[in-house]
Amino acid sequence: MIRHRVLEILSRTLPVCISLLLSLGACLSDRAASNGQQRARAGSAPIRITVVGTNDIHGWVAPHRWKLRSGLTLEQGGISTFAGYLAILRADNPAGTLLVDAGDLFQGTLVSNLTEGAVVVDAYNYLGYQASAIGNHEFDYGPEGPISVALAPGSDPFGALKQRMRQADFPLLAANIYDAGTGERPQWLGNDGTTIVERKGLKIGILGLITPTTPQTTNPINVSSLRFGSLIPEALSAAKNLRSNGADLIIAIVHVGGKCTRYDNPRDLSSCDAANGELFEMLQGLPPRTFDAVVAGHSHQVMGHFVNEMPVIETWGLGRYFGVIELSVSPRQCWRTGRKSNRWFPSVSGGKKSPKAVSPRKWRSSAKESSSPPRFGGDRSSAIDVWISSWLLRWRRWRPKRIESWVCALSRSSSATTRRRPRSATC
């Protein structure tokens, strides 16, 4: 009864964090043949992958609190509240949930600064993150200890960050960081900016990127020995390496942000600042569908849009919000991009019926019976249809000896192939 109630609350909440429900059909590459037996048992049933993304937490492991004139205290966000939502998402897709962060874990709260980010990494270890991008503020602490700038002879400008990397049970990724002197990858990073995890027999590649403007957005002394490579060539190279290593899907976690002011149509970029955003410049400069999903950060803006046929989410961050992308991978509905390519692109089957809006409650109830999210009729030109809903990290209202909680619901449904206005309900 409680779990049913929480699922209902999850599917009807304020528009603060964008959840993309993608109807993707993607075929498995030749290099994934070793997982054939497991996939064969599933037949043609879509494989559902849930990507949960956070960004720019900036040390906010505790909730935000405000005290009103009446004496009431409002509480929003925090790791413990997010852990509850995450547990429900994982219960809804036990073997197919992926948790990633787009960077700027540290710098911003007293508890984070006093521990040089250790409290954040402890929390992320507990939540079970698969990977995080390195953000520009990860370099703010400089050497270990109270001095945040590497001015003393022999001091290590990356001392605090190295400690957090050793502490983390997950990799911190940025494929475009190089030693300015040698041009090589710094050994202390411990990886090439990518990692591969497995979910439901699928190899999922994760690559991280950091904004090349990092020297202008952290203390430049701490990063003077580093070079931050251009985003487009680094993204292409990292994605190619992941494909060559057998990745069936690629998730990009990028500390590079964008900005949009409208979210009612995820394919409408007219409200987005595409001319001045690093994220748009990168994604529009890549071949379509280079990534299967993108979790972005840095600009602290909400995004839930398709850019160059790639679904992108970003939130305001600060531990208050999170985003979700649902991927449905159909092994039998696919086509190849080229004769020698091992890259499979999504497709959907055509249909004569018009696309219909899908309510959150209907999807949540159907998810118990099927691993596939709602699908719409369409053709290859509209290979991905999308439904958007919004989730709010829990608000609480406290009174002496009494706790009251409320949720204001707003859900939006839309399809890439219909002009019907989305339905919404508010309280």
Domain boundaries, the chain: 2-404
Tell me the range of 6-10, 17-21, 396-400 where mean pLDDT is highest: 6-10
pLDDT in tens, 219-269: 999 999 999 999 999 999 999 999 999 999 999 999 999 999 988 889 999
Could you tell me which residue, 378 or 31, shows the higher pLDDT?
A: 31
Judge whether residue 405 has pLDDT over 90: no
Burial classification of residue 69, based on how many CB atoms lie within 10 Å of its CB (0-12 exposed, 13-18 middle, 19 or more buried): exposed
29, 248 contact by CB (below 8 A) = yes
Q: What is the pLDDT of residues 66-84, one digit of tens each?
A: 888 888 888 889 999 999 9
Query: What's the pLDDT tens digit per position in 264-280?
Result: 889 999 999 988 889 99
Q: Which residue has the higher pLDDT, 314 or 400?
A: 314
Whose CA is closest to 210, among 149, 296, 291?
296
The pLDDT tens digits for 168-210 are: 999 999 999 999 999 999 999 999 999 999 999 899 999 999 9
Asked whether 124 and 231 are in contact (CB, 8 A), the reply is no
pLDDT band at 44 (very low <50, low <70, confident <90, very high): low
Task: Flag whether pLDDT at 357 surpasses 80.
Answer: no
The second-level CATH assignment, the architecture, of 2-404 is 4-Layer Sandwich (3.60)
Evaluate whether 107 touches 344 at the Cβ level (below 8 Å): no
Per DSSP, the residues of 350-412 read --SSPP----HHHHHHHTTT-SSPP-----GGG---EEEEEE-PPEEEEETTEEE------B-
pLDDT in tens, 83-92: 999 999 999 9
Q: How much is the pLDDT for 293?
A: 95
What dihedral do alpha carbons 328, 331, 332, 337 form, nearest 10°? 100
Please, which residues bridge with residue 390 across strands?
18
What are 131-175's pLDDT values in tens digits? 999 999 999 999 999 888 888 888 999 999 999 999 999 999 999
Quick one: what percent of the chain has pLDDT higher than 90? 57
Check residue 37 and give its pLDDT. 46
Q: What is the pLDDT of residue 5?
A: 47
Q: What is the DSSP string of 258-310?
A: --BS--S-TT--TTB-TTT-HHHHHHHHSPTTSSSEEEE-SS---EEEEETTE
Query: In degrees to the nearest 10, what's the CA dihedral of 144, 146, 149, 151?
Result: -90
Q: Say what the pLDDT of residue 66 is.
A: 86
Q: Let me know: does 9 contact 364? Beta carbons within 8 Å.
A: no
- Do 194 and 158 form a contact (C-beta atoms < 8 A)? no
Res. 18: pLDDT tops 60: no
Between the alpha carbon of residue 49 and those of residues 18, 35, 403, the distances in Å are 16, 16, 36
**Spatial separation of the C-alpha atoms in residues 355 and 110, rounded to whole Å:** 50
Residue 284 backbone phi and psi in degrees, to 5: -75, -15
User: What pLDDT is stored for residue 341 in this prediction?
Assistant: 26
Average pLDDT taken over every residue of the chain: 74
pLDDT at 384 over 80: no
Using the predicted structure, report yes or no on whether residue 360 has a pLDDT greater than 60. no
Q: Report CA dihedral (327, 332, 336, 341) to the nearest 10 degrees.
A: 80
The pair of three-digit structure tokens given for residue 60, joined into one six-digit string: 């906010």
Whether pLDDT at 411 is above 80: no
| CA dist 92 → 36, 242, 331, 401 (Å) | 25, 28, 22, 33
Residue 4: predicted pLDDT:
52
Checking if the pLDDT of 33 tops 80, the result is: no
* Cβ atoms 160, 153 nearer than 8 A: no
**pLDDT band (50, 70, 90) for residue 43:** low
pTM beyond 0.75, yes or no: no
Q: 306-349: per-residue pLDDT in tens?
A: 999 999 999 999 999 999 999 988 765 433 222 222 223 332 22
Q: Is 168 helix (H, G, I), strand (E, B) or coil?
A: coil
